[in-house]
Amino acid sequence: MGGQTLVTGVIGSDTHIVGNRILNIGLEKAGYQIVALGALTPAEEFVDAAIETAADAILVSSLYGQGELDCRGFRDLCVEAGIGDILLYIGGNLVVGKQSWESVEQRFLDMGFDRAFPPGTRPEDVVAALEADFARRGAGGRGD
Amino acid sequence: MQAGHALLIDFGSTYTKLRAVDLEARRLAGSAQGPSTIATDITEGLQQALNALEARLGALPAFRHRLASSSAAGGLRMVTIGLVRDLTAEAARRAALGAGARVIGTFTHHLTRADIATITDWQPDVVLLAGGTDGGNREVILHNAAALGSAGLRCPVVLAGNRSAADEARERLGALEVRTAENVMPRHNELNIEPARAAIRQVFIDRIVEAKGIERARERLDAVLMPTPAAVLEAARLLADGAGTDRPGLGDVLVVDPGGATTDVHSVCAGLPAEGVIPRGLPEPRVKRTVEGDLGMRHNAATLVETVGIAAIAREAGVPEDTAEAICAGFAGAVERLPQTDAEHAVDAALARLAVGRAVARHAGTLETVYTAAGAATVQHGKNLSGVSTVIGTGGALAHARDAGSILAATAADPHDPTSLRPRAPRFLLDREYLLYACGLLASVAPETAYDLALASLEPLAGGEPP
């Protein structure tokens, strides 16, 4: 498996880059092409990068608890830009305070993300999810 | 060491300008100009200019090199096409500007029928078609290639997009003349504009010279090498980087050219962020040219007034608003007009200061403070010019100004606006003899001579040190 192009980055005013780098290394090892946008990335830049590189998925990280604000309208942005069917993942410390993971996950799924990952997710979990989703969608993910 | 003379010609929109250089003495032997006669026979204006040069020198030397640049007949008019505005479309625009082109339109995403009609109507000299990273989006560049291929365009196309789509795009461009270059953005956020620049320049040499009616002068020349703005950019690169082993160059350089229609800014520097500052957006080219179409002092005087406001111009010039307004209106209607009265000089200098100040502010990057959970972070957008040590002014407006130093001072950083990354403490030099373009041309055959000539001709301003 692998070979698909993935856009990764840390959204919003968030400088936590270490986990994202570790994720990128794991994804690259699994054979994916990584377009790494790094820290402090606005939502629009994820979408622009995905268009130019014909990416198959966007993997958004958010570590500082503001993920819900930063990601509001993310799927709509993709729809507007003509890549509405792209695979969208989100992961990290998505909210502040003690909230049940189930409610947090549901909130991000309702926002149009295909999957949400809690803190402590390992790169191999993400790879397994990608493989399952790409297999389900058919080889090549989105394609053109 | 080369002996003999070189003749450097600028076929401009109004004048045919000549600079004769003594290669051994490394100095300007003489200057002359004639009218631009591109509409009838370009050799007429050239002959008049040569006659004037002969009268000045006594006799014309046998020229060892005869090189020309041209901004005649509207310059190199280009349309650039990319996919996303801030990515491949911006990279394509930068490649065209760096090649000395006048970018008359930039298009993104799928070209519509209306876009194609507009482009066909404009009759550009060259179209630069980009889009998609290598292995990335193919669909849009293929759509656009097919649309251009069936549009009835006549001009050559430089194809510099997704290399996985290059062969098919070429086929879809049909009968159009196509030059393929490396992708202007091979990977996301990786700028690669030199190959496209070189391809545009080759098209200029092979095709545009003919299309613009310059070929009649061909037997009197070795070559028409590049558009005049590209020659100025070459001179900036030469001054920054030096020539040979014992001419290390001046380091980071900025060149401003406030003209009648536009204000051009050229920079040669890495422009990287200061320590701890996080860069954002497309990386900046080390050799960068920008053109501000709304900041011109004659053809666009009205636009400049609209952009900065008559009140700012009057305040800057120290004249009443109605006086400033009348003088600006006069300038807008009289393109070749030089200032006569004191008030006209004051308004002219004010226009120049505002034009170069704004143009450099747009060319330069900016700092933004972002508040993160871990505290404040500083982000840089664009190119950091704060370390630029030399600012050079060129063009008629500066050469004729009473106080060019005060105009060039408007390029420097403003302590009241620390977010604008303009040169912090530069020295100012003036290209009073209008030799930069000539040095840019000469650099292609005698870089060391061109370097020495450029250095010797630049005049330090405002008590600065000579270079």
- B55 and B100 share one domain: no
> Hey, are the CB atoms on B136 and A66 less than 8 Å from each other?
no
Whether B228 is in a domain gets the answer no
- B304 and B217 share one domain: no
- B87 and B25 share one domain: no
Residues of A in Cβ contact (< 8 Å) with B86? 48
Mind telling me how many Å the CA of A107 is from chain B's nearest CA? Answer: 22
What pLDDT is recorded for position A141? 46
- Whole-number Å distance between alpha carbons of B415 and B385: 15
Q: Which of A16, A48, A125, A133 is catalytic?
A: A16
Please indicate if the annotation marks A94 as binding a ligand.
yes
Residues of A in Cβ contact (< 8 Å) with B83? 51-52
Residue whose C-alpha is closest to residue B445's, from B271, B294, B248, B238: B238
Residues of B in Cβ contact (< 8 Å) with A33? 135
- B265 and B323 share one domain: yes
What pLDDT is recorded for position A143? 42
Whether B292 is in a domain gets the answer yes
- Whole-number Å distance between alpha carbons of B188 and B136: 9
The pLDDT tens digits for A117-141 are: 999 999 999 999 999 999 998 854 4
Please indicate if the annotation marks A95 as binding a ligand.
yes
Instruction: Report whether B393 contacts B357 (CB < 8 A).
Output: no
Query: Which positions ≥6 away from B150 have C-beta within 8 Å?
Result: B174
- B296 and B409 share one domain: yes
> Hey, are the CB atoms on B373 and A33 less than 8 Å from each other?
no
Whether B22 is in a domain gets the answer yes
Query: Can you list the domains of chain A with their CATH numbers?
Result: 5-135 (3.40.50.280)
- B424 and B285 share one domain: yes
Tell me, yes or no, if A14 is annotated catalytic. yes
Number of domains chain B is built from: 3
Whether B226 is in a domain gets the answer no
Whether B86 is in a domain gets the answer yes
- Whole-number Å distance between alpha carbons of A94 and A108: 9
Whether B186 is in a domain gets the answer yes
What pLDDT is recorded for position B466? 56
Range list of β-strands (E), B259-316: 263-268, 278-280, 287-292
Instruction: Report whether B153 contacts B119 (CB < 8 A).
Output: yes
The pLDDT tens digits for A32-47 are: 999 999 999 999 999 9
- B12 and B152 share one domain: no
Query: Residue B254: beta bridge partners?
Result: B267, B391
Out of A13, A33, A48, the one facing B370 most closely (by C-beta) is A13
B188 inside 8 A of chain A by CB: yes
| pTM, to two decimals | 0.91
Whether B109 is in a domain gets the answer yes
Mind telling me how many Å the CA of B80 is from chain A's nearest CA? Answer: 16
- B367 and B436 share one domain: yes
Mind telling me how many Å the CA of B281 is from chain A's nearest CA? Answer: 9
What pLDDT is recorded for position B301? 84
What pLDDT is recorded for position B212? 73
- B178 and B154 share one domain: yes
- Chain B contact probe: residue of A52, A53, A56, A94 with most B CBs at under 10 A: A52
ipTM of the complex: 0.82
- Burial readout B418-433 (b: 16 or more C-beta within 10 A, e: otherwise): eebbbbeebbbbbbbb
What pLDDT is recorded for position A16? 87
> Hey, are the CB atoms on A144 and B374 less than 8 Å from each other?
no
Residues of A in Cβ contact (< 8 Å) with B188? 7, 35, 37, 49, 52-53
**Side-chain half-sphere exposure of B82, counting CA atoms within 13 A:** 25
B110 inside 8 A of chain A by CB: no
What pLDDT is recorded for position B460? 95
- B16 and B103 share one domain: no
Q: What is the CATH number of the domain that holds B92?
A: 3.40.50.2300
* Rg of chain A on CA atoms, in Å: 14
Out of B136, B185, B370, the one facing A40 most closely (by C-beta) is B370
Q: Which residue has the tokens 């040069």?
A: B53
Instruction: Report whether B383 contacts B349 (CB < 8 A).
Output: no
What pLDDT is recorded for position B233? 97
- B295 and B413 share one domain: yes
B137 inside 8 A of chain A by CB: yes
- Whole-number Å distance between alpha carbons of B136 and B151: 26
Give the domain range for residue B401: 233-460
- B215 and B250 share one domain: no
Tell me, yes or no, if A85 is annotated catalytic. no
Sign of torsion over alpha carbons A79, A84, A86, A89? positive
The pLDDT tens digits for A71-89 are: 999 999 999 888 999 999 9
pLDDT tens, residue order, chain B (467 aa): 568 999 999 998 889 999 999 999 999 999 999 998 888 888 899 999 999 999 999 999 999 999 999 988 888 999 999 999 999 999 999 999 999 999 999 999 999 999 999 999 999 999 999 999 999 999 999 999 999 999 989 999 999 999 999 999 999 999 999 999 999 999 999 999 999 999 999 999 988 877 777 778 888 889 889 999 999 999 999 999 999 999 999 999 999 999 888 999 999 999 999 999 989 889 999 999 999 988 988 888 888 889 899 999 999 999 999 999 999 988 887 777 788 999 999 999 999 999 999 999 999 999 999 887 778 889 999 999 999 999 999 998 899 899 999 999 999 999 999 999 999 999 999 999 999 999 999 999 999 999 999 999 999 997 555 56
Whether B126 is in a domain gets the answer yes
Q: What is the CATH number of the domain that holds B41?
A: 3.30.420.40
| Strands across the sheet containing B77-81 | B102-107, B77-81, B126-129, B157-159, B178-180
Q: Which residue has the tokens 């650099």?
A: B443
- Whole-number Å distance between alpha carbons of B102 and B100: 7
Backbone angles phi, psi at B305, to 5 degrees: -60, -40
The pLDDT tens digits for A7-27 are: 999 999 888 889 999 999 999
Instruction: Report whether B259 contacts B102 (CB < 8 A).
Output: no
Backbone angles phi, psi at B411, to 5 degrees: -80, -15
